[in-house]
Amino acid sequence: MAILPRGASAARRVGVRAACGLQATDAAHIMPRKSQVLDVMLDPRLLRNDPHAVATALARRGFEFDADAYAALDARRKALQTRTEELQAERNRRSKAIGQAKAAGEDIEPLKAEVSGLGDQLEAAKRELDAVQTEQDEIRSGLPNLPHDGVPDGLSEDDNVELRRVGEPAGFDFEVRDHVEIGEGLAGMDAAAAAKITGARFTVMKGGVARLHRALIAFMLETHTAAGYTELNVPYIVNADSLFGTGQLPKFGDDLFRLAEPADYYLIPTAEVPVTNLVADSIVEAEALPLRFVTHSPCFRAEAGAAGRDVRGMIRQHQFEKVELVRMVHPDDSEAALEAITASAESILQALELPYRVVALAAGDMGFAAGRTYDLEVWLPNQRTYREISSCSNFGDFQARRMGARYRDPDTGKPRLLHTLNGSGLAIGRALVAVLENHQQADGSVAIPAALQPFMGGITRLAPAGQAAAAQ
């Protein structure tokens, strides 16, 4: 049974596959296919009718868009398209006339001779049009989403706006350890072993720490499904189409682990990719909205631009796990849905008794596809700072347009782009770090938050190696 109605037509998406069917070349070549495909990113009409407004909006993100050049290109496109379609119409008319003449038993040879020149003209016009459209598509697929009106101005994280703080950082009357020290003390965290097996930025977890990691996953899935999210289990390997749909491609291939063999697939950088793409290429019935999904998955990131950052511990790994929340909603509901998805993520932090703050990202600090983003940052006592543990974004129709995700408007009967959102609920590795650090005790043990204890066989603390196992 299908989870979602799949559009059998699949008329769109001629796109990426065709365009990048050219093997393991550069991921940057991945493009939507021209014309009749709706996976261009920003609304093509907005781009055509008011390119300067687009340029102004994108400038808030620090993105330069040459509106005049684009407008000039579009003028060429228009002329070429008109000419091409006129030629096609002419050819269709004549061919139809030949058919009728033949049916009437007339001699069609003279008619055929008349049409012969048309073919060449048409082919030439098509080629030209094709080139211009390809150029336009390349530009469009590289344009980030427009920031929502309410997004704070600014180009860097320094311009982010703190919305609220929840929970008081605990006072410690001993020297606060970081999670690496705590994890090693518990004999539960081993970076050296992972380095031997693989390399840098991996960790082997063991015993109580591994169990705590698993408990966090189970607790989060339980909490979110109880709140109405439908649990999913999805592929961790995806194709280029899916990554284009959510916006990782064509621009951010460097952040991905790519499997060139035996197939040109990618490891997912987040479950957002497979889950959001469930609605790719389909028309969802209006009553089915909102769709709310939760899934647990590993995430694989090359961290290409992060050399030297967060090298110690589990903050920044090539492989980590995450519980992800995804919603597909009616366009009118996406603003409220962002608040709701953020609240879902916050409920986990509250249950885990972790102090955190909520930050509205500035226009220039948001991800490529996001129209508005709230980050949740958890308090890390050793670093004496708040660190990102969840990112909740409203993508508006940006991803929906790229992947062809629509719902049927009951009033008009016509398909319309739906809105997509997602948020981490939460990143498991960082949640583990936060629990270890915030709930550490003077003796090196770690108190298990009450909410987690049922998923830990009822134990209330993790004890350092050498101490008696676990208190009841």
Partner RNA sequence: GGAGAGGUGGCAGAGCGGUUGAUUGCACCGGUCUUGAAAACCGGCAGGGGUUCACGCCCCUCGUGGGUUCGAAUCCCACCCUCUCCGCCA
Joined together, the tokens standing for residue 34 give 């021209």
Angle made by CA atoms 425, 426, 430, in degrees to the nearest 5: 175
> What sections of 286-397 are H helices per DSSP?
334-351
Backbone φ, ψ for residue 46 (5° rounding) = -60, -40
Contacts with RNA in 31-60 (CB under 7 A)?
33, 35-38, 44-45, 48
Residue 400's contacts (CB-CB under 8 Å, 6 or more residues apart) are 279, 328, 406, 417, 418, 419, 420
Q: How far is the CB of 103 from RNA (least distance, A)?
A: 7
116 binds RNA (CB under 7 A): yes
Q: Which is nearer to RNA, 7 or 313 (CB)?
A: 7
Nearer to RNA, 410 or 454 (CB): 410
Burial 355-366 (b: 16+ CB within 10 A, else e): bbbbbbbbbbbb
* Residue whose entry in the numeric block shows the structure tokens 């060139």: 260
- CA 332 to CA 337: how far, in whole Å? 10
CB of 88 to RNA, least distance (A): 4
The closest of 163, 149, 124, 123 to 60, measured between CA atoms, is 149
Give counts: helices (H), strands (E), the chain. Answer: 13, 18
Smallest separation, CB 58 to RNA (Å): 20
Q: Which of 187, 240, 198 is nearest to 446 (CA)?
A: 187
Encoded tokens for 454: 């049922």
Residue 270 tokens, joined? 């987040």
> If you ran DSSP here, which 8-state letter would residue 409 be given?
-
* CA 454/CA 219 separation, integer angstroms: 9
Report the alpha-carbon distance of residue 252 to residue 368 in Å, rounded.
9
Residues 136 and 77: beta-carbon distance below 8 Å: yes
Least separation in angstroms between residue 441's CB and RNA is: 41
Nearer to RNA, 122 or 155 (CB): 122
Query: How far apart are the C-alpha atoms of 334 and 292, rounded to whole Å?
Result: 12
Nearer to RNA (CB atom), residue 76 or residue 357: 76
Q: Which is nearer to RNA, 229 or 265 (CB)?
A: 265
If the CB atoms of residues 5 and 228 are measured against RNA, the closer one turns out to be 5
Distance CA 265, CA 48 (A): 34
119 binds RNA (CB under 7 A): yes
CB of 451 to RNA, least distance (A): 33
The structure tokens listed for 28 are 């940057």
By beta-carbon proximity to RNA, the closer residue of 283 and 463 is 283
For the window 164-203, what string marks contact with RNA as x by the rule CB under 7 A? Answer: ----------------------------------------
Q: Does 458 bind RNA (CB under 7 A)?
A: no
List binders of RNA among 67-106 (CB under 7 A). Answer: 78, 81-82, 84-86, 88-89, 91-96, 98-100, 102-103
DSSP state of 262: S
Query: Exactly one of 110, 150, 171, 413 binds RNA (CB under 7 A); which one?
Result: 413
Residue with tokens 């014309």: 35
Nearer to RNA, 96 or 312 (CB): 96
Among 28, 71, 73, 108, binds RNA (CB under 7 A): 108
| C-beta of 11 vs 465, nearer to RNA | 11
Provide, rounded to whole angstroms, the least separation between the CB of residue 397 and RNA: 12
Assigned token pair, 176? 């606060």
Question: Which residues form the catalytic set?
Answer: 301, 316, 388, 391, 430
Please give the size of the binding site for RNA, defined by CB under 7 A: 50
**Smallest distance, RNA to C-beta of residue 10, A:** 5
Minimal distance, residue 7 CB to RNA, in Å: 5
Q: How many CB atoms lie within 10 A of CB 245?
A: 31
Phi, psi of 390 (to 5 degrees): -160, 145
Q: Please report how close the Cβ of residue 36 comes to RNA at its closest, in angstroms.
A: 4
Residue 119, SS3 per DSSP: helix
**Maximal CA-CA distance, the chain:** 103
CB-CB contact of 338 with 394 (8 Å): yes
Residue span 2-21 as binding mask against RNA, x where in contact by CB under 7 A, dash where not: ---xxxxxxxx-x--xx--x
> Among 60, 406, 419, 430, which residue interacts with RNA (rule: CB under 7 A)?
406
Residue 127 interacts with RNA (CB under 7 A): yes or no = no
Q: Footprint of RNA on this chain (CB under 7 A)?
A: 5-12, 14, 17-18, 21, 33, 35-38, 44-45, 48, 78, 81-82, 84-86, 88-89, 91-96, 98-100, 102-103, 108, 112, 115-116, 119, 283, 406, 410, 413-415
